[in-house]
Structure 1
Amino acid sequence: MTQSFETFKGEIERALSACGLDPYRACDVNAAAAFLDDDQDTNAPDDFWTVIRRYRTPQREAVIDPDDLELELTGGCGRCGLEADMMCAGCGRCNCDRHDQCKRPARQ
C-alpha cells in the first residue's frame, strides 16, 4: 500500500508536534514528505526518522546539545531527556508538556 504526499506530510506534522516541536521550524516538511513519497517505491525505503533528520532545519540543528543528539536521532526529546519509547502512554508526548488531561490506556 502506498501513501500520498499529503499523508506523509500529515505524519511528519503529527510526529514533530508530538515531540513538542513546530514542524515547520524544525524540518522542511514539504521536502521530507516529497522524499518519502518518492522513496516508498524503492526496494529499501529509508526509515521515517532518518528522513526527518536529513531535512532538519539549520535553526533546529543549532539548538540541539551534542549530548542530546542521540535522543533526537532516535525520536526522543533532547530537551527533557526522555527516550522515544518512554513517551506518555496517553498522548505520546514527552515531559516538556503538561499531561493533566491524559488518560492512561486501559491495556496498560
Structure 2
Amino acid sequence: MPGPASAAPGNGREAAEPRGFAQSPAAEAPARADAIWECERWVSVPAYHVDFTCTVFSGAVRAYVVCSDGAVFYSRIMYAGALYQMRGTCGPPWTVRTSGEQPL
C-alpha cells in the first residue's frame, strides 16, 4: 500500500510544486525590534500558491500561508535592508486559505 506522500498515478496533471516556501535571497543579519515592512501579495487562480514581494525597512518579519487542509508554512526570516521575493505553495490539491506577514 503506498504511503501518504506517494503521487496519484497518471491523472494527466503536471507534478505539483513542493509545498512550503521558495524564496530569494537568503539573508543573514541580526534582527531588530519594531519591524516596519511593506509587502505585496498575488494569489493565483485557482489559489494553489501566493507570491510575495516584500521590503523590510527595520526589524525582521516572516511571511506565512495557511492551507485549506490546515497546514501552516512560514518563510525564512526577512531582515531589514533587502527586497525579498518568494512563493508560498499549498497545492494542488490544497488551496491557500489565508496569507500574511508576521513581525518577529
Instruction: Normalising by structure 2, report the TM-score.
Output: 0.25
Report which of the two structures shows the higher radius of gyration computed on alpha carbons: 2
Return the structure number with greater relative CO, CA threshold 8 A, min gap 6: 2
Which structure has more strand as a fraction of its residues? 2
Which structure has more helix as a fraction of its residues? 1
Instruction: Normalising by structure 1, report the TM-score.
Output: 0.24
